[in-house]
């Protein structure tokens, strides 16, 4: 059964890091964000309980770190009930095949993202010409070939619920990818964003390294539909989240979050959309 799984053909370790790498933040008692080099994974569920999920699957080669962080928080005898993917970019599925093999866990993603998770479609190549800094320039080394998860990955339920994340619903937030989703819990207005917006200027190596907190649109080198990306940010802002855990950058909360999001909606074309790049329409 494992034979039908593989990483993208161009997967490799990416030598990029940040001061947050290896550090975890307990954002809420049941919401834990951990940084793998330059991307965050998120564990949702109360520590030591058997009911928890992992959101996203880190960088290539990070399986051991993800397993150890998870076992430290939830114990080694309870695997996560599911892995939810916000989207299938290499930095969000980097350890997924190893994790499925280790835990035998079910994986869920938006239906429109499934071709990129089952080896059928490659993502558009990252754009090194896009307006931005060193990370944009080095983006050609980023893998864009799809993982093959076979029937280990399933579509998220049509009713908007998120398996094993009671109280959360998934929100389709396309633009960065076609099947991108964010996860929202009404009762305390928690938002697990993915890359629909991020809190660090991900195109700039220095800002990634220092994790200087600053609201930003989706990482530019991989974003292909800016009109949809803007609509997605507008819909997330309308939820008035009180806590946002993003795929890149530090978690943002409270007034800083609401003011930053309002600003991002207001000035999306200046803040988020690059002045030049090959995916501008």
256, 254, 240, 246: which is closest to 186 by C-alpha? 240
Per-residue contact string for residues 182-211; x = within reach of Zn ion by CB under 5 A: -------------x----------------
Q: Which is nearer to Zn ion, 74 or 200 (CB)?
A: 200
152, 40, 49, 34: which is closest to 86 by C-alpha? 40
Here the tokens at position 89 are: 């970019």
225 binds Zn ion (CB under 5 A): no
Whole-number minimum distance, CB 249 to Zn ion, in Å?
A: 10
Per-residue contact string for residues 3-42; x = within reach of Zn ion by CB under 5 A: ----------------------------------------
Cross-strand bridge partners of residue 82? 53, 106
Q: What residues contact residue 256 under an 8 Å CB cut-off, 6+ apart?
A: 213
Q: Which is nearer to Zn ion, 91 or 98 (CB)?
A: 91
Whose structure tokens read 């070939």? 145
Q: Which is nearer to Zn ion, 79 or 233 (CB)?
A: 233
- How many CB atoms are closer than 10 A to CB 58? 26
Q: Is 143 helix (H, G, I), strand (E, B) or coil?
A: coil
Q: How far apart are CA 241 and CA 258, in angstroms?
A: 7
Whole-number minimum distance, CB 173 to Zn ion, in Å?
A: 11
Q: Which is nearer to Zn ion, 74 or 86 (CB)?
A: 86
Per-residue contact string for residues 58-97; x = within reach of Zn ion by CB under 5 A: -------------------------------x-x------
Whole-number minimum distance, CB 221 to Zn ion, in Å?
A: 9
Q: How far apart are CA 182 and CA 145, in angstroms?
A: 23
Backbone φ, ψ for residue 54 (5° rounding): -105, 130
247 binds Zn ion (CB under 5 A): yes
Q: Which is nearer to Zn ion, 89 or 152 (CB)?
A: 89
Q: State the pairing for strand pair 53-55/82-84.
A: parallel
Q: Which is nearer to Zn ion, 47 or 133 (CB)?
A: 133
Q: Which is nearer to Zn ion, 98 or 195 (CB)?
A: 195
DSSP 90: T
Residue nearest to Zn ion according to CB distances in the complex: 89
Q: Write out the binding residues for Zn ion, residues 98-127 only, by CB under 5 A.
A: none
Whole-number minimum distance, CB 177 to Zn ion, in Å?
A: 7
Q: Which stretch binds Zn ion (CB under 5 A): 40-48, 69-77, 120-128, 241-249?
A: 241-249
Here the tokens at position 272 are: 């988020």
Q: Write out the binding residues for Zn ion, residues 130-149 only, by CB under 5 A.
A: none
Q: How far apart are CA 256 and CA 155, in angstroms?
A: 34
Q: How far apart are CA 266 and CA 257, in angstroms?
A: 14
Q: Which parts of this chain interact with Zn ion (CB under 5 A)?
A: 89, 91, 195, 247
């Amino acid at each position: 059964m494992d034979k039908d799984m593989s990483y993208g053909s161009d997967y490799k370790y990416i030598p990029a890091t940040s001061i947050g790498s290896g550090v975890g933040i307990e954002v809420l008692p049941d919401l834990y964000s951990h940084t793998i080099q330059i991307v965050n994974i998120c564990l949702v569920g109360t520590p030591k309980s058997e009911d928890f999920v992992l959101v996203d699957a880190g960088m290539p080669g990070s399986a051991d770190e993800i397993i150890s962080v998870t076992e430290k928080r939830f114990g080694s005898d309870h695997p996560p009930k599911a892995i939810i993917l916000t989207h299938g970019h290499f930095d969000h599925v980097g350890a997924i095949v190893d994790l499925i093999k280790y835990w035998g866990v079910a994986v869920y993603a938006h239906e429109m993202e499934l071709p990129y998770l089952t080896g059928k479609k490659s993502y558009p190549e990252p754009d090194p010409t896009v307006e931005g800094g060193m990370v944009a320039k080095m983006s050609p080394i980023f893998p864009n070939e799809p993982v093959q998860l076979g029937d280990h990955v399933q579509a998220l339920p049509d009713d908007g619920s998120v398996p094993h994340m009671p109280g959360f619903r998934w929100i389709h937030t396309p633009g960065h990818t076609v099947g991108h989703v964010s996860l929202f819990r009404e009762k305390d207005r928690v938002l697990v964003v993915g890359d629909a917006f991020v809190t660090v200027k991900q195109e700039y190596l220095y800002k990634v390294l220092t994790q200087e907190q600053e609201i930003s649109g989706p990482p530019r080198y991989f974003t292909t539909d800016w009109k949809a990306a803007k609509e997605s940010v507008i819909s997330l802002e309308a939820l008035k989240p009180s806590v946002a855990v993003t795929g890149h950058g530090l978690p943002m909360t409270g007034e800083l979050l609401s003011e930053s999001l309002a600003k991002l909606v207001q000035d999306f074309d200046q803040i988020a959309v690059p002045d030049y790049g090959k995916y501008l329409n």
